[in-house]
């Protein structure tokens, strides 16, 4: 899941011209879960914008605006409303914004209502988002019992804890469990400590050259 937060209201409004007419596009997946672009947030923004003199000509909440086929369909369905708008306000992550830009045949200017923060998981309470993956392209979760040291170790160490861990806590943040102690404890329970003997090579940073593309087979 892509985790996002809403930009401060005054920052967003500062990008708008007086009386600017807007069309709003939200997101039915990640931004809905993050409460940054679901129907509730879109309607709240619609009311607030109109109250401050920015007419909203319509809105759409595609399930996943980052999927080209879905956003093309939504843009086509709302063609007339977008035509009479000065710009599009996007309440989705950076992927959604750029997908809309790539398929925006009317070439309307885009305003972005969110900051994209990280890839994350939803905790058991459903109220917190936890960064567990960096999408580094060198996944070693098979060898670390599903705990990612690239993300969950403050130093991103690949071959065990640093000398600063103390009683299972991180040297950098004493309130955080040391990722490598968690890995050790899990592998010990599973009788798989032999995996710790395998030396992990340095990360292959060529896999993080940007922008990336991957063709489906």
Q: What is the pLDDT of residues 44-97, one digit of tens each?
A: 999 999 999 999 999 999 999 999 999 999 999 999 999 999 999 999 999 999
The domain boundary residue, chosen from 63, 90, 119:
119
Cα–Cα distance, 163 to 185 (Å, whole number): 17
Only one residue has tokens 């985790």, namely 3
Nearest residue to 206 (alpha-carbon basis) of 144, 124, 148, 138: 138
In this model, does residue 216 exceed pLDDT 80?
no
Query: Residue 58, SS3?
Result: strand
Burial 71-85 (b: 16+ CB within 10 A, else e): bbebbeebeeebeeb
Give me the chain's average pLDDT, please.
94
Number of domains in the chain: 2
Spatial contact of 7 and 40, defined as CB atoms under 8 Å apart: no
Q: What is the pLDDT of residue 137?
A: 87
Segments forming the whole domain that contains residue 65: 2-119
User: Would 126 be classed as within a structural domain?
Assistant: no
Q: What is the pLDDT of residues 178-209, one digit of tens each?
A: 999 999 999 999 999 999 998 999 888 888 77
- Predicted pLDDT of residue 91: 98
In a domain, 208, yes or no: no
Residues 168, 81 within the same domain: no
Based on the fold, state whether residues 142 and 112 are members of the same structural domain: no
CA atoms within 13 A on the CB side of 169: 8
Phi, psi of 100 (to 5 degrees): -65, -45
What value does the mean pLDDT take over residues 154-161? 95
DSSP 177: B
Are residue 147 and residue 48 in the same domain, yes or no?
no
For residues 101 and 146, membership in a common domain is answered with no
Q: pLDDT at residue 109 above 90?
A: yes
Check whether residue 175 and residue 93 sit in a common domain.
no
Q: Is residue 210 included in any domain, yes or no?
A: no
**The pLDDT of residue 217 is above 80:** no
pLDDT at 204: 86
pLDDT for the residue 211? 80
């Amino acid at each position: 899941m892509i985790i996002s937060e809403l930009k401060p209201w005054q920052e967003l409004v500062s990008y708008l011209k007086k009386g600017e007419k807007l069309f709003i596009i939200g997101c039915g997946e990640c931004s809905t879960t993050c409460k940054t672009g679901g129907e509730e947030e879109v309607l709240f923004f619609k009311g607030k914008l109109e109250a401050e003199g920015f007419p909203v000509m319509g809105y759409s909440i595609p399930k996943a605006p980052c999927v080209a086929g879905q956003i093309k369909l939504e843009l086509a369905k709302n063609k007339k409303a977008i035509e009479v708008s000065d710009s599009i306000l996007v309440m989705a992550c950076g992927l959604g914004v750029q997908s809309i830009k790539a398929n925006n045949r009317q070439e309307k200017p885009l305003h972005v209502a969110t900051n994209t923060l990280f890839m994350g998981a939803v905790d058991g309470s459903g109220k917190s988002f936890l960064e567990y993956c960096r999408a580094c392209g060198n996944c070693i979760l098979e060898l670390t019992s599903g705990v990612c040291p690239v993300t969950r170790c403050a130093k991103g160490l690949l071959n065990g804890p640093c000398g600063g861990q103390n009683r299972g806590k991180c040297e950098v943040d004493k309130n955080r469990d040391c990722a490598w102690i968690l890995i050790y404890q899990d592998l010990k329970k599973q009788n798989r400590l032999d995996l710790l003997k395998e030396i992990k090579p340095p990360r292959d940073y060529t896999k993080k050259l940007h922008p990336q593309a991957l063709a489906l087979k």
